[in-house]
Amino acid sequence: MTPPAAPAGAARAPRPLAVVTGASRGLGRVLAGFLAAGGFDLVLTARGARALQQAAEELPGEGRYRTLAGSVTDRDHVAAVARAAGRRLDLLVHNASTLGPNPLPPLAQAQPEALRDALETNVVAPLVLTQALMPALTRAHGLVVAITSDAAVGDYPGWGVYGASKAALELLARTLAAELETIDVVVVDPGDMRTDMHQRAFPTEDISDLPAPEVTLPFFAWLLSQPRESVNGRRFEAQSDAWTVAGPAG
């Protein structure tokens, strides 16, 4: 059935707006394309200006796409992202992160500076950006998605720095979900994927058998279709055979 045409001169409903960090490659880039095709306007941020601009030029749809190159750990950059988002924000995806030292060191040999850097990028920066965007998220009753890893709940040798930062991110997200009444927060583990970050973690291995980030898109389509109260505070594995609201994040 074709919906009736809007009356001449009628105002169009505003398009939803999403902010995606780490949007120049990998999962962030794939999610940006998915959201653009789904009718979102986008504010995209990543550290590499050229790769970010190229990603934006390849987006489908007819939305408005704003790119802001910079680090999520830079307070001036965070302020610029908040200005670009404006008064209403429907979706915030915390995808930007750092793997830490490469090759991955045993935790007993990890330098304190490496842990501080991982915590600053993977934990402090998402909180600061969420705080900056909270008024806009509140007006739209927006959704915050924190991208995590199975390293947050595992004890994999060499992954202690990264895993500790992602575990902290999960607790941060779960606490925000419990505290905030007008913003919903979820944690998503996308699973192993064929990305630059995964290749850096295993520089001598062939990862061509891993799925591309597009494997997560059925999950994100499902997530965005769910009643917010049913997903708030939950942890999901994007590559699971089925997604259920089974328990809190963590």
Average pLDDT over residues 169-174: 98
162 has catalytic annotation: yes
Q: Are 17 and 41 in contact (CB under 8 A)?
A: yes
DSSP 178: H
Segment 191-214 mean pLDDT: 78
Kindly report the pTM of this predicted structure.
0.90
Q: Report residue 9's pLDDT band, with 50, 70 and 90 as the boundaries.
A: low
Domain boundaries, the chain: 17-237
Tell whether the model's pLDDT for residue 86 goes beyond 50: yes
CATH number of 17-237: 3.40.50.720
Torsion of CA 214, 142, 245, 122, to 10 degrees: 60
CB 142 within 8 A of CB 195: no
Catalytic residue among 34, 40, 159, 162: 162
Average pLDDT over residues 193-214: 77
pLDDT tens, 120-133?
999 999 999 999 99
For every residue of 74-139, DSSP letters joined together read -HHHHHHHHHHHTT--SEEEE------SSSPPPGGG--HHHHHHHHIIIIIHHHHHHHHHHHHHHH
pLDDT tens for each residue of 29-82: 999 999 999 999 999 999 999 999 999 999 987 889 999 999 999 999 999 999
